[in-house]
Amino acid sequence: MRAVSLHRDVIVVTSALLQANCTIVRGPSDGEGPPPGREDALAGADAAPERPPAETFVIDSPVLADELELLPQLLEQSRFPPPSGLLATHADWDHLLGRLAFADVALGCAESSAARLVAEPGAAQRQLRSFDEELYLQRGRPLALGSVQALPVPGRCGIGDADLELHAAEGHTGDGMAVWIPWARVLVAGDYLSAVEIPTLGEGGAPDAYLATLERLRPLTSAAEHVVPGHGPVIDGARALEVLEQDLAYLQALRERGADAELPAGRRSREQRRLHARNVAAL
């Protein structure tokens, strides 16, 4: 697991598996925290000056059991308060594991994601169990999502004296949202704008909806200092715009040419070709 501070109020944790990103955000305050760009959010945490209390949310999740177990320690050593809420950008199982780290904290997601979870009871738990069995992973307890809070999207989610902006993000699946952190200029994009993975069509996903989401995210991407994809490295706004244009071109070609669509440069590995074949089958 790798933890990087993007802003004094934003830490991104990247899992050793799937390059899955978890974003920890604290409501803004006047105190000073770790400088942007610190490579290890745990390093030198004791030297950070005191800050007034603030509210914290954890968006999405790392994957491995030991990574999840370390999240409370990471928050404490980085002088973030315990989370008052968890957020999931969409209802794929690998974005829902925050409850394994914070069992008593409520999970919030877009109304579309909450509806998907109701329509597919136990699906995330079964998929997690299958994943763990395939890789011989063990966890101390099963995933329990508890009561899920459905959030209106587009909309806002209060965090201390500020708001997170919630933007509809469907296309990868039939549900989801992206989260804009305005004071830090950080866009948490869910499974969009990845520099390592082509656009993929999961359950309920569709090219037209994906294209619409990319256009919806364009102004936020242009304004962003950092973009956090669901999987892959955090990138700056300029690089994210390049990825956005590549993804638009790929999806348009997928609609027009199917299997003959050209994959984006730098994303043409065997695994990406497998995902492309799955996209073609989903059309």
Work out whether strand 148-151 and strand 21-26 pair parallel, antiparallel, or are unpaired: unpaired
Stretch (H or E) spanning 100? helix 98-101
148: β partners: 107
Give every CB contact of residue 238 below 8 A, 6+ residues apart in sequence. Answer: none
Strand, helix or coil for residue 217? helix
User: Which pTM was predicted?
Assistant: 0.90
Stretch (H or E) spanning 237? helix 237-257
Give every CB contact of residue 25 below 8 A, 6+ residues apart in sequence. Answer: 9, 10, 56, 57, 59, 159, 164, 181, 184, 186
Quote the pLDDT of residue 29.
Answer: 67
Region 2-282: CATH code: 3.60.15.10
pLDDT (tens, 9 = 90+) of the chain, 283 residues, equals 899 999 999 999 999 999 999 999 999 865 444 444 434 444 444 444 454 457 999 999 999 999 999 999 999 999 999 999 999 999 999 999 999 999 999 999 999 999 999 999 999 999 999 999 999 999 989 999 988 999 999 999 999 889 999 999 999 999 999 999 999 999 999 999 999 999 999 989 999 999 999 999 999 999 999 999 999 999 999 999 999 999 999 999 999 999 999 999 999 999 999 999 999 999 9
Phi/psi at 231 (nearest 5 deg)? Answer: -140, 135
Strand, helix or coil for residue 280? helix
Q: Where are the domains of the chain?
A: 2-282
DSSP per-residue string spanning 13-64? EE-SSTTBEEEEEE---SS--SPTT-S-TTTTGGGSPP-----EEEES--SS
Residue/partner pairs of 121-124 with CB below 8 Å, 24 or more apart:
123/93, 124/91, 124/92, 124/93, 124/96
State CA 129 to chain mean position distance: 21
Token duo for residue 231: 């999987």
